[in-house]
């Protein structure tokens, strides 16, 4: 690309002046520019300002639409206009950086030119590719479609200090189902992070482990396998490998992966992994386990998670759960059957507790919910020794740096998904607060959950134990080393305290109704419009380390996507 290719000059009028934040410039009508492109502008004291394009407009000297109509012989589309119209393109941009920190308004007639690769990196505040904190989060394509200028491709390193701490934490990914590729983008970032952490030579650097919840089909159940090696066409295996190499990433799937499936028997199939023989292969490789929830004090104390979507405004269910946790009569059950029998005794009219704070009606409501979730489900049973069965929380206690745990909950009903998800995040939270003596978890644990709207939407009852746990992680997780990567279709449906505490946001393709919600009010209108037509593999990302929002692309997953 030619250095300092002049493309126009700044314009300032009485009605549209330049400001310390915004400016306008005219340019040729046939010059192809795009929103998010970066330009450089001469400024005072030999400084240079950089701006990002937000809007491109075309005007003529016609005072009205009617004038144009009349000049075409009153609407004859085949005639040559009797009046020549003077026209021009003008561009609206936002100032993002000045080399001398001079933020006076840009002056009229200041020359505007295209920025080269190094200047774009400097203007956007991107880290150097070899920075110890840089995590590639995609790449930029700028100056696309120009006849006399080569396009610019730039890998985008995101500052990990603003993603997994200590400066900021949490990632929120939004976009409509299918077209937005939310899971693919989350997994791309996690793969880049695992590469970075495994290559780190500094013993003092943070160590990271990953816990991923598989919530849809077999989406995440083959992330340690290479993708199908299609040899030809767009998106072939060789193309994917080349893309990863260009971004400085290893062209290999995830490493140190273990899979955890809800226990199944002949009468109950609790996973989709059986369809493609995924499960048996992983069992043979000693990478997969069945998880169960035996009747112990920890699991009984977590029964409140089954009530996450039930409005308990009078806190009667809480009272029962507190009673179970503290009363000696509920401390010695050897099985869930014995536990349910004791609950049944509390439902009898004239029982001892019917005259106290907890009524028989409350016990009966509690019993209905507990029985519907536990009775007949083999996942609630003791773990057999010397088998591939485990208690999930025991395994989490053993997690090591760079381990990837995939917990499958896709085929469980909603209440059971709540129970498993809530159980895990509650245990991790307690583990990082102090946990069991002698336990030494990684300094950071990243939790990835798709369909966050099930657990942290604005419609969830305020007393939901899972919502309370997620809010705690959003607000205190950074200091504890618990990082939430979450995805949902509609960002506006998620609790404000979750999105508000996410330092990084990624916006995939969404619809016109969504972009008019209050969550998008700070985003320029043209960027919002672009969100409605983003393609797969494209995201608009925001992070405090960047000086503006960026439109990035990312390659397809480097692991096998099971369908």
Q: What is the mean pLDDT of each run of 10 residues along the chain (563 residues)?
A: 78 94 92 91 94 92 82 76 77 94 94 92 82 89 77 90 91 85 93 91 78 92 85 70 92 95 81 81 91 87 80 74 79 82 76 61 84 85 86 90 95 89 90 76 93 86 84 91 94 91 94 92 91 92 92 92 70
Measure CA 500 to chain center.
Answer: 13
Same domain, 404 and 345: no
Angle between helices 414-433 and 360-374 (to 10 degrees): 100
Q: Are both 413 and 541 inside the same structural domain?
A: yes
Q: Kindly state the tokens that stand for 310.
A: 């039930």
Tell me, yes or no, whether 52 and 187 share the same domain.
no
The reply to whether 43 and 78 lie within a common domain is yes
- Residue 563 within a domain: no
Would strands 444-449 and 288-292 be described as parallel, antiparallel, or unpaired? unpaired
Q: Of 374, 397, 432, which closes a domain?
A: 374
CB neighbours (10 Å) of residue 264? Answer: 17
How far apart CA 16 and CA 11 sit, in angstroms, is 9
Q: What is the largest CA-CA distance in the chain?
A: 99
* 289 and 369 both lie in a single domain: no
Is 534 inside any structural domain?
Answer: yes
Q: Which ranges constitute the DSSP H helices of 200-268? A: 237-246
β-pairing verdict for 404-408 and 257-262: parallel
CATH number for 393: 3.40.50.300
Whole-angstrom CA distances from 110 to 5, 38, 41, 48, 241 are 14, 16, 7, 10, 44
pLDDT at 91: 95
pLDDT of residue 355: 44
Nearest partner of 309 among 379, 380, 214, 414, judged by Cα: 414
- Asked, for residue 103, whether it belongs to a domain, the answer is yes
Q: Is residue 53 part of a domain?
A: yes
Same domain flag for 403 and 281: yes
What is the distance between the alpha carbons of residues 522 and 495, in angstroms, rounded to a whole number?
Answer: 18
What is the predicted pLDDT for the residue at 312? Answer: 65
Q: Are residues 322 and 405 in the same domain?
A: no
350 and 402, same structural domain? no
| Residue that finishes a domain, picked among 374, 391, 421 | 374
- Which among 109, 124, 139 is the end of a domain? 124
Q: Confirm whether 526 is domain-assigned.
A: yes
- For the chain, the domain total comes to 3
- Cα distance between residue 293 and residue 427, in whole Å: 13
Do the domain assignments include residue 345? yes
| Predicted local distance difference test score (pLDDT) of residue 491 | 92
391 & 472 share domain: yes
Q: Which of 547, 496, 548, 545 is nearest to 526 (CA)?
A: 548
In whole angstroms, how large is the CA radius of gyration of the chain? Answer: 29
What's the pLDDT at 173? 95
Residue 166: asked if its preceding bond is cis (omega within 30°), the reply is: yes
pLDDT at 364: 83
Q: Can you give the pTM of this predicted structure?
A: 0.88
Do 439 and 479 fall into the same domain?
yes
Does the residue 288 lie in any domain? yes
Residue 142 lies in a domain: no
pLDDT at residue 234, rounded to an integer: 54
Predicted confidence at residue 1, as pLDDT, reads 41
The pLDDT score that the predictor gives to residue 163 is 93
Quote the tokens at residue 449. Answer: 């959950």
Rounded to whole angstroms, the Cα distance separating 60 from 67 reads: 11
Residue 47 lies in domain: 6-124
The reply to whether 204 and 280 lie within a common domain is yes
Q: Are residues 263 and 403 in the same domain?
A: yes
């Amino acid at each position: 690309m030619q250095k300092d290719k002049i493309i126009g000059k700044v314009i300032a009028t009485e009605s549209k002046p330049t400001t310390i934040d915004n400016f306008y410039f005219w340019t040729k009508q046939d010059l192809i520019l795009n929103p998010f492109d970066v330009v450089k502008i001469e400024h005072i004291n030999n400084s240079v300002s950089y701006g990002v394009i937000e809007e491109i407009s075309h005007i003529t000297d016609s005072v009205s639409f009617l004038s144009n109509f009349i000049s075409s012989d009153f609407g004859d589309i085949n005639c040559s206009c009797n009046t020549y119209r003077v026209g021009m393109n003008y561009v609206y941009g936002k100032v993002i950086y000045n080399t001398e920190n001079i933020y006076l308004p840009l002056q009229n007639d200041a020359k505007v030119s295209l920025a080269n690769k190094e200047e774009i990196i400097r203007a956007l505040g991107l880290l150097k590719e070899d920075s110890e904190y840089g995590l590639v989060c995609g790449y930029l394509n700028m100056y696309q479609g120009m006849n006399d200028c080569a396009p610019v491709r730039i890998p985008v390193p995101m500052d990990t200090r603003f993603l997994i701490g200590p400066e900021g934490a949490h990632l929120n990914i939004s976009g409509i189902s299918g077209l937005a590729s939310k899971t693919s983008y989350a997994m791309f970032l996690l793969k880049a992070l695992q590469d970075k952490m495994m290559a780190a030579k500094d013993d003092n650097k943070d160590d990271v482990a990953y816990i991923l919840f598989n919530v849809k089909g077999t989406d995440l159940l083959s992330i340690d396998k290479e993708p199908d090696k299609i040899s030809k066409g767009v998106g072939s295996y060789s193309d994917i490998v080349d893309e990863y190499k260009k971004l400085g990433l290893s062209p290999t799937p995830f490493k140190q992966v273990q899979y955890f499936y809800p226990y199944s028997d002949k009468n109950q199939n609790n996973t989709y992994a059986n369809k493609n023989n995924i499960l048996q292969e992983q069992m043979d490789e000693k990478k997969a386990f069945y998880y169960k929830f035996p009747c112990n004090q920890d699991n009984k104390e977590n029964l409140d998670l089954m009530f996450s979507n039930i409005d308990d405004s009078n806190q009667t269910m809480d009272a029962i759960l507190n009673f179970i946790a503290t009363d000696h009569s509920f401390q010695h059950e050897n099985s869930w059957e014995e536990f349910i029998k004791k609950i049944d005794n509390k439902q009898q009219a004239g029982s001892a507790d019917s005259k106290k704070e907890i009524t028989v009606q409350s016990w009966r409501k509690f019993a209905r919910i507990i029985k519907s979730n536990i009775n007949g489900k083999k996942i609630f049973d003791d773990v057999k020794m010397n088998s591939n069965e485990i208690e999930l929380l025991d395994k989490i206690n053993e997690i090591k740096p760079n381990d990837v745990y995939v917990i499958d909950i896709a085929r469980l009903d909603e209440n059971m998904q709540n129970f498993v998800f809530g159980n895990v995040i509650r245990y991790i939270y307690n583990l990082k607060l102090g946990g069991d003596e002698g336990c030494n978890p990684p300094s950071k644990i990243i939790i990835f959950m798709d369909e966050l709207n099930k657990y942290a939407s604005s419609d969830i009852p305020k007393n939901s134990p899972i919502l309370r746990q997620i809010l705690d992680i959003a607000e205190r997780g950074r200091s504890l080393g618990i990082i939430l990567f979450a995805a949902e279709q509609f960002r506006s449906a998620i609790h404000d305290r979750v999105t508000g505490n996410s330092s990084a946001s990624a916006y995939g393709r969404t619809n016109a109704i969504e972009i008019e919600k209050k969550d998008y009010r700070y985003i320029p209108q043209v960027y919002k419009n672009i969100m409605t037509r983003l393609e797969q593999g494209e995201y608009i990302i925001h992070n405090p380390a960047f000086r503006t929002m960026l439109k990035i692309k990312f390659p397809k997953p480097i692991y096998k996507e099971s369908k």
